Chains A and B, each alone.
Chain A
């Protein structure tokens, strides 16, 4: 257990191969340092900062694609002081997420370039905060060590609080950042208390070790109750990141008060990081031999996550009904979508479960599609906000006449958020439903609380929620197309039109490229880092496929 004291201290020095695997993170860090020094050398102008940040993101992207090709099947762990799993890991999931996040970040930077680059006086600070939170999100997904999860979690959260309140003269922004920060601080503190209890029981911060301990001792151990409380406290932190009910209260306020670019960034990036972290932890927790005695633990976990997901998407859709602010409406819609994605994490419960692989694949496909849907919808909202000065739903009235090149992509993105074919949003929902429908354990039994019941009830809840959500998305569409109160024409910049129309076109194209999309996500979803899997023959991969993503 006491790895640090026994190990040769030099073994903790990273070797070149490991440094290469984590090169996208290192590049982002260097970009942050370059931006810190930029005001001293090149002045506080927007252009040099934007140039350095774009260069950094492009270089990080090149490295990320290289790493995705090189990363070994089953992942590798680096920076390890002993026999335990290392502080950082690189596997197909983490390198896939790096590429997704970097693509999304370039979209957000593009949006910032259109809207804020002329008026913004604090560009270096903005980019340091943005890159810092991106780094934290990447760290959250590329680790199995609880200490590193805490560090990544806080590195992702702290810059986000400042980003939400970035405009100092904005009252709504100040209030939103206060609420976000207080909520985040409370959830992080509760999570740390849970972690301290887990540490006392298990004696390690390595999540595979914790998972193995839980597998062996949960049934007969005397500290079962403490362990369950500790895990629940830990879950509070992750639920805050995902904005899952009951930790979702920050989400609409922070999204409404923040600048549109920041809202776009938080709506996809922080949720995706939290969801993939949850999926990884669930996978590690359940990856040992499928004993009959631990089956009830798995069942409790699946039901817990499943019910949380169902409540999250229902509450999100329900509250979106009466919203009059489009940013707030999209915030509640993002809560609902986080609920759908969490359902996929509930299916991703055990290697002995049918649909286990399909669960994570569906989650990743959904994240990729959701990225473009939200980038498009928020992009149009941003341009309307910059033109009219507010994000009330009335500002969208007659948009089809006022700016057809904004209205058409908005309709496409909203219909894709509903999940109507022939748009990519349909694919994401379809594969999640498919994974839920095939959710079954080989010897699962046929009681009312079996996995099959859970899967099918989640299917029904998802379909009902989709019908519910149709109404409030349609309300915006009807406002844009059928109503017209003679508001002036919206003049959008050509760069902005390029962004939103590209997103809309991609949503159409991706529907017809369903096969390749699923294959890419499937590559990312298999061969995850899992030291426990090596012990049990049940979880060995059937066919060895290379881990590359190109």
Chain B
């Protein structure tokens, strides 16, 4: 039977990171970009928790940071959605390409 080790977790995290970056680059919708940000944040969380589980030198600090990151992601999402709603009220869209009044 195949056992799951650290490598598998790191691969999952790397795939999540890549998917998140790809989402950020390709999406034009502000909410879509934020979903990409969440993917990248969670890839960091998978890394941190997996290191704590499998490596002798890492024990608990990573899990603490993972909890901090979860809280930060929630706070960031709250502010981000607030800003998106504000933009929608002003421009009636959350497309980042339409919001192009400021340039140069």
Contact = CB atoms under 8 A, between A and B. Distances in A.
Nearest to A191: B44
A339 to B, nearest CB: 19
A162 B57 contact: no
B90 A174 contact: yes
A253 B103 CA distance: 7
B91 A171 contact: yes
B99 interface: yes
Given A192-B41, A192-B44, A193-B17, A185 B57 contact: no
Contacts of B13: 196
A405 B8 CA distance: 68
Interface in A279-335: 319, 322-325, 328
A174 B86 contact: yes
Interface string A183-211: 00110111011011101101111000000
A158 B75 contact: yes
Contacts of B45: 196
Contact of A4 (B40, B60, B83): B60
Contact of A196 (B36, B44, B60, B82): B44
Q: Which interface residue of B30, B41, B45, B55 has the most chain A CB atoms within 10 A?
A: B41
Contacts of B96: 178-179, 182
Interface stretch (A100-108, A146-154, A260-268, A355-363): A146-154
A319 B104 CA distance: 8
Contacts of A4: 59-61
Interface in B32-71: 33-34, 36-37, 40-41, 43-45, 47-48, 51, 55, 57-62, 64-65, 68-69
B2 interface: no
Nearest to A166: B86
A172 B101 contact: yes
B47 A203 contact: no
A185 B65 contact: no
Contacts of B58: 1, 199-200, 203
A189 B99 contact: no
Contacts of A324: 104
A179 B80 CA distance: 10
Q: Is the interface of B mostly helix, strand, loop or mixed?
A: helix
Contacts of A185: 33-34, 37, 76, 80
Interface string B78-104: 011011101101110000100111111
Given A174-B90, A256-B102, A199 B30 contact: no
Contacts of A394: none
Given A185-B34, A199-B51, A154 B83 contact: no
A255 B34 CA distance: 22
Interface string A164-182: 0100111110111111011
A330 to B, nearest CB: 14
Interface string A137-162: 00000000011001100100010011
Given A172-B102, A195-B44, A200-B51, A162 B72 contact: no
A392 to B, nearest CB: 13
Contacts of B51: 196, 199-200, 203
Nearest to B65: A147
Given A4-B60, A175-B102, A182 B33 contact: yes
Contact of A175 (B34, B65, B91): B91
Interface string B10-30: 100100010011001000001
A5 interface: yes
B102 A161 contact: no
Nearest to B84: A178
Given A2-B59, A185-B80, A176 B47 contact: no
A257 B102 contact: yes
Contacts of A151: 68, 72
Given A4-B60, A147-B61, A323-B104, A177 B83 contact: yes
Contact of B33 (A150, A186, A192): A186
B43 A193 contact: yes
A425 interface: no
A175 B69 contact: no
B43 to A, nearest CB: 6
Contacts of A203: 51, 55, 57-58
B57 A161 contact: no
A189 to B, nearest CB: 4
B102 A193 contact: no
A310 to B, nearest CB: 23
B65 A150 contact: yes
Nearest to B100: A175
B40 A190 contact: yes
Contacts of A323: 104
A5 B52 CA distance: 13
B65 A154 contact: no
A419 interface: no
A53 to B, nearest CB: 21
Contacts of B59: 1-2, 4-5
A252 interface: yes
Contacts of B30: 178, 182
Contact of B68 (A147, A162, A322): A147
Contact of B79 (A168, A181, A192, A199): A181
9 contacts: A4-B59, A154-B76, A172-B101, A174-B90, A178-B84, A188-B72, A189-B20, A193-B44, A253-B102
Given A171-B90, A182-B80, 4 more contacts: A174-B87, A181-B79, A189-B37, A203-B58
